[in-house]
Amino acid sequence: MIFGDPNKFAILMDYVPLWSSEGGYKNGLFHFIVDGKFFPTYASVATLSGDISCLSDDNALITVPENEYLFKADKLDSFSKIMNAMLPNLLDPDAEVSDDFKGDYRYQASTYNLENDTCYVFSVGFMGSVRILAAKVSYLDSNDTEGYEWRNYNNLEVYEVILFKDEVHGIVSEVKEKYELI
């Protein structure tokens, strides 16, 4: 089931009984849709309880951190600044990070299923609105002789949408309510 407007921001969550076992975890599909783009881009088994737990009160979609600069800046600049404050080696594997570095996760909106496929979603607020930024930062490259390796995209494509906070809270609340009924 899709919650929200897929042309703006939506969450796709659907229980798939064939991927689940009696008395075990409830597995299914769990995706964010930002500006018409699916994250992750392909269907994969999501442990729904894990993704729902990521939508707790400290998730940036619920407790939206305010930052005027990040809200108004170019989408690539905002996304990169947030990512570098959270996981600096992800966009730049050669970045020098001090031993006492502490990642800043306050803008993190993505869940396990998204991040397992290197899809990151951030949320930043300003004046009652929420800016949601999303990108897939790397891809799995493979060949028969060297195996598999994650490679960063040379030109990161960031998707964005701006909504009212109440609209985003409503979408997340509907998803959580539906999960309780599964």
pLDDT value for 150: 66
Q: With CA atoms as reference, report the closest residue to 138 among 124, 119, 122, 121.
A: 119
pLDDT value for 30: 98
Please give the structure tokens belonging to residue 114.
Answer: 């998204």
SS3 category, 165 = helix
pLDDT value for 91: 84
Mean pLDDT by 10 residues, the chain (182 residues): 98 97 95 98 95 98 98 97 93 86 97 96 98 90 71 84 98 98 92
Residue 19 identity: W
Residue 114 identity: L
pTM to 2 decimal places: 0.93
Q: Phi and psi dihedrals of 173, rounded to 5? A: -60, -40
